[in-house]
C-alpha cells in the first residue's frame, strides 16, 4: 500500500520518521479519519474543517491549504484504488525536536502522514443483530473535542470492551453520558432522539452531525441535551455512530438487554435514511 509522508508518496514499508518526532515522544499531534466510498471521500469539507479546528486548538501550523489536502487525499485514494471503500487516516504532529515539553524554538516543520486502509462497514447481520457494550468512567482529559493522537485512555477503555467480549465502552463523566471510546452515542426515549451536546467532553462527530441533519429533515423528534446515566440505562434504544461504524444499535448494556434486546424502530428508520443519503451524495460519477 502507498502512504504519504511529508510531501512524498511511498510504500508504507519505506515510510519512517525520526525517533524524536514529538508525536512519538509526547503524542503531540492530531489526526482525522475520512470514509471513502467508491473512491469519493464522504463529507470531506467537514472532516478538513475539523482537522483545522484540532490544529488550531493545539497550535500546530496547518501544513497544507484546503486544495493541498484535497489533492493529496485524491492521489492517496487513487494509489489505493484496489480497495473499493477506504478509510483515509491523516496525522499531523508538531515535528521533530530535542525532547522538551514546551514548543520547539525556533519553530520546526510539522510531520504530515497519511495512509489509507480498507473500509469495512458493519455487515447486514451486525446491523440486524446489534452489538453489546459496557459502561466505564470517562477517565479522559477536558479537551475531548480535539481529535488528538494521545489516545491512551481510549486505548484502555476500548480494551476493556474487548476483554468483556463486547463492541464498545460507553463513558460516563459525573453521571452523564459523554461518548464511546471511538464513537458518539445517541439514545431514544419514547420516540425522541436524545443527543449529548457538543462540548469539551466529546468529539464533535461528523456522523453525529449527519444524524442530526437527517433527524431534522425527516422530522424525527430530537432533543440535544445532557443524557444522564439513568436515562441511558432506561433508554428504549442506544446507538453508536462513527465514520467507520456508520450507525449501530446497542442491544445489551453491561449484560442487560436494552428494551427488548433488538435494534429498535427509530434505529431501523435512521439506518435506512443514512444509507439513502450516503448513496445519493456518493452516486458514482
Closest CB 282 distance from ligand PLP, rounded Å: 16
Element at 88 (helix H, strand E): strand 86-93
Angle between helix 206-217 and 265-281 (nearest 10): 100
Phi-psi region of 195 (alpha: psi -120 to 50; beta: other; left: phi over 0): beta
For ligand PLP, the closer of residues 9 and 274 by Cβ is 274
For ligand PLP, the closer of residues 69 and 96 by Cβ is 69
CA dihedral (10, 13, 18, 20) positive or negative? positive
Contact 246, 274 (CB under 8 A): yes
Residue window 14-43: x/- pattern of binding to ligand PLP, with contact defined by CB under 6 A: -------------------x----------
Q: Does the protein bind ligand PLP through residue 87 (CB under 6 A)?
A: no
For ligand PLP, the closer of residues 50 and 94 by Cβ is 50
Q: Does the protein bind ligand PLP through residue 54 (CB under 6 A)?
A: no
Binding residues for ligand PLP, how many (CB under 6 A)? 13
The only residue of 93, 148, 207, 232 in contact with ligand PLP, by rule CB under 6 A: 207
Q: Does the protein bind ligand PLP through residue 206 (CB under 6 A)?
A: yes
The only residue of 86, 132, 169, 182 in contact with ligand PLP, by rule CB under 6 A: 182
For residue 245, indicate whether it is catalytic. no
For ligand PLP, the closer of residues 96 and 182 by Cβ is 182
Closest CB 115 distance from ligand PLP, rounded Å: 16
Cα–Cα distance, 90 to 65 (Å, whole number): 14
**Residues 186-205 close enough to bind ligand PLP by CB under 6 A:** 203, 205
Cα–Cα distance, 208 to 184 (Å, whole number): 7
Best CA proximity match to 5, nearest among 60, 53, 76, 56: 76
The only residue of 86, 116, 169, 242 in contact with ligand PLP, by rule CB under 6 A: 242
Closest CB 34 distance from ligand PLP, rounded Å: 9
Across 18-49, b (16+ Cβ under 10 Å) vs e yields eeebbbbbeebbbbbbbbbbebbbbbbeebbe
Contact 154, 169 (CB under 8 A): no
Q: Does the protein bind ligand PLP through residue 183 (CB under 6 A)?
A: yes
Catalytic residues: 147
Amino acid at each position: 500500500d502507498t502512504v504519504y509522508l511529508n510531501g512524498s508518496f511511498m510504500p508504507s514499508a519505506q515510510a519512517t520518521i525520526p525517533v524524536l518526532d514529538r508525536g512519538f515522544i509526547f503524542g503531540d499531534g492530531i489526526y482525522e479519519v475520512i470514509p471513502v466510498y467508491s473512491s469519493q471521500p464522504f463529507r470531506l469539507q467537514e472532516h478538513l474543517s475539523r482537522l483545522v479546528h484540532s490544529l488550531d486548538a493545539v497550535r500546530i501550523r496547518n501544513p497544507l491549504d484546503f486544495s493541498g489536502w484535497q489533492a493529496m487525499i485524491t492521489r492517496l485514494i487513487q494509489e489505493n484504488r484496489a480497495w473499493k471503500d477506504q478509510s483515509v487516516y491523516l496525522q499531523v504532529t508538531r515535528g521533530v525536536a530535542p525532547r522538551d515539553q514546551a514548543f520547539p524554538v525556533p519553530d520546526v516543520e510539522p510531520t504530515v502522514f497519511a495512509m489509507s486502509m480498507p473500509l469495512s462497514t458493519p455487515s447486514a447481520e451486525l446491523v440486524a443483530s446489534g452489538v453489546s457494550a459496557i459502561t466505564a468512567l470517562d477517565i479522559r482529559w477536558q479537551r475531548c473535542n480535539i481529535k488528538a493522537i494521545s489516545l491512551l485512555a481510549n486505548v484502555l477503555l476500548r480494551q476493556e470492551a474487548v476483554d468483556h467480549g463486547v463492541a464498545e465502552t460507553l463513558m460516563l463523566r459525573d453521571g452523564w453520558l459523554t461518548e464511546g471510546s471511538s464513537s458518539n452515542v445517541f439514545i431514544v426515549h419514547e420516540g425522541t432522539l436524545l443527543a449529548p451536546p457538543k462540548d469539551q467532553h466529546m468529539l464533535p462527530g461528523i456522523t453525529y452531525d449527519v444524524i442530526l441533519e437527517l433527524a431534522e429533515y425527516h422530522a424525527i423528534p430530537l432533543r440535544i441535551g445532557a443524557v444522564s446515566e439513568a436515562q441511558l440505562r432506561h433508554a428504549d434504544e442506544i446507538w453508536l455512530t462513527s465514520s467507520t461504524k456508520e450507525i449501530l444499535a446497542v442491544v445489551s448494556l453491561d449484560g442487560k438487554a436494552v428494551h427488548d434486546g433488538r435494534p429498535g424502530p427509530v434505529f431501523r428508520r435512521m439506518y435506512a435514511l443514512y444509507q439513502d443519503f450516503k448513496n445519493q451524495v456518493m452516486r458514482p460519477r
